[in-house]
Structure 1
């Protein structure tokens, strides 16, 4: 089996060495070259033709975000960002990176080991990922769908359900690789007069708060990192905290968040299955579940449990997924009622909330 060819880009010799040695210990990965800055990286991309590139953000001559933005139109190369600059990570994802990993404290062998395990998994996901999908031409059907979505924002004042009814319902989303941008593209198109939204995105501790802040600043919704005791409310979005599971408990006619730390489920914490299975139990037919891009199978069984309890379910299609793993497994086991391209999911969600 051909090994995944990786180019490591970082201006620190020590960190490049840690990355190269650590990644090379995986029999499925081969570090073919190292680069000290974007210009060095450009030359080595041409020479070594890597399958995946890891890239720092803060580098001499050109920062990683600008490098990714200029690189991807020319080279169809998946990029995994490795950086301690947490605030800029989502800008890198917007530029086209497929995923990110936070740099560890290199004085802690345990932290470095966990970091390398996480990075190896994301490199393998990246090798199967599509890049720059936002630049693909849309079909006529999808373009029509986007035009329809544009009208969603004009119907906010036309409440088709009372606040009391909206409070009894819930929308849950689950995602992994490519999920932060997919979630953002859905949330920014939705009107406020819909049930509260709860999200489980595979994300490291600390970054979930930044992700919530980004959505809060750039959409009409009130978005926050979930805490135990939070209630799901219409017009609000709760994000599962990184490195914690999130489940919902029914309290009267409302839903309350509970965050906790136990073993990883399907290799993840937060786990989409944990959230979805709790929603199947708490909300039954009053819920809508959406499974989005991501590697692996987390969320598939939970979405199936939701559908069996009467919930409506949506799966992202292969063409628009950065990695068609989680939604593929969910579709194959019968968990997905409706499959849709990412640009159409907001419209479909709105339609299901109305009962269409």
Structure 2
């Protein structure tokens, strides 16, 4: 049997430290080696025994999560899973932590904490396992699958063989990503000019964090980046980020494209789901679309990208060498959904070439 994954919990809440420790210790492959009430205490304990994964709060006394993350990634890169409350201030800080290299976000409520942590135990354990497999030099193995029910896009969009209209001058780029995607999207979107074709993006992220994420990217990019709202048009120079906790669907209205935001069960264990976005793009845009699947755990997006390719769309995947977690792209490649795999730094150029009609 392989060695246990060593976990450290850093949170100023004694309740969180106690409950999470007990829950994670119940997992046969996880071992909580230490807890700390803030990063200063954590750093002292880490000198004695370095963890494989850190479960980290972002708002703490003495040293905040952002400062700790930056210090950690500069001196000794270590996978981090954020466990943060759903507050506006906390969301902003968490987005900065993700940009600094955090693997994933688990959201915790401000009330009913014990019950929430108990019900979310498997989710936290899954996130820790996935983070432990991330190579901090950006090469990773695919993580263990989640344990929640796994639906296909059929639960949101039926499998009727709708066909997209023939080629037009309007181009659409659909992007799907998960673990490591916050950093990857920043690299991609900041490289695109205002003349880039319209993008629709699913980044696996909890509700209330996508607004802050989109605002942060908008301040960095030449393109307009915003959290999608129902009925938003997909136009040149605009990137729409699917809101956390809702599915985003591409629709065509005459010569224009727009998005619909809808509720529904998680698809491929996620909401928003890349499979849902890609299926709708296959139907509404067909060969007018480019599908891009990037770093992330699991297989969300693989089937949808195959539907896009079957509908005549161009499809690319981020290559293994530049992925934080080579899970989603790997599954898409295995399924025959990918025409070309390429480094993250080459994807922006491919998007621009596609927008100019060079496939």
Q: TM-score, normalised by structure 2?
A: 0.85
- Aligned-partner Cα distance in 1 for 2:327–2:235: 31
8 Å CA contact retained: 1:86, 1:102? no
1:133, CA displacement in angstroms? Answer: 4.3
- 1:171 is matched with 173
Moved more, 299-308 or 17-26: 17-26
Shift of 1:273: 0.3
RMSD of the TM alignment (CA)?
2.0
Which residue in 1 is equivalent to 2:301?
299
- Counterpart check, 1:281 vs 2:283: yes
Question: Does the 8 Å CA contact 1:291/1:314 hold for their aligned counterparts?
Answer: yes
Matched, 1:339 2:341: yes
Query: Which among 256, 266, 274 is matched to residue 268 of structure 2?
Result: 266
SS at match of 2:205: coil
Kindly indicate whether residue 217 of structure 2 is the aligned counterpart of residue 212 of structure 1. Answer: no
| Residues 109/73 of structure 1: CA separation in 2 closer, same or farther (3 Å cut) | closer
Task: Name the structure where helix makes up a greater proportion of residues.
Answer: 1
Which residue does the alignment assign to 2:47? 46
User: For the Cα contact (< 8 Å) 1:105–1:112, is it kept in 2?
Assistant: no
RCO comparison, higher one (Cα < 8 Å, 6+) = 2
TM-score scaled by length of structure 1: 0.86
Relative to 1, partners in 2 of residues 1:272 and 1:74: Cα closer, same or farther, differing over 3 Å? same
3-state SS in 2 of match to 1:72: helix
Q: Which runs of 5+ in 1 are unaligned?
A: 135-164
From the superposition, tell whether residues 109 and 18 of structure 1 become closer, same or farther in structure 2 (CA, over 3 Å): closer
Q: C-alpha offsets along residues 58-99 of structure 1, whole Å, 9 cap, x if unaligned? A: 223322211121122332310112223111112112222222
User: 5+ unaligned residues in a row in structure 2: which ranges?
Assistant: 140-167
| Greater Cα shift, 77-86 or 105-114 | 105-114
SS at match of 1:80: strand
Report the Cα distance in structure 2 between the residues aligned to 1:285 and 1:113, rounded to whole angstroms. Answer: 46
Number of equivalent positions: 326
List per-residue Cα deviations over 1:297-356 (Å, max 9, x = no partner): 000011111111111111011111111100111112111111111112111221222233
| Whole-angstrom distance in 2 between the partners of 1:291 and 1:242 | 18
Cα offset, 1:131, TM superposition: 2.3
SS at match of 1:269: coil
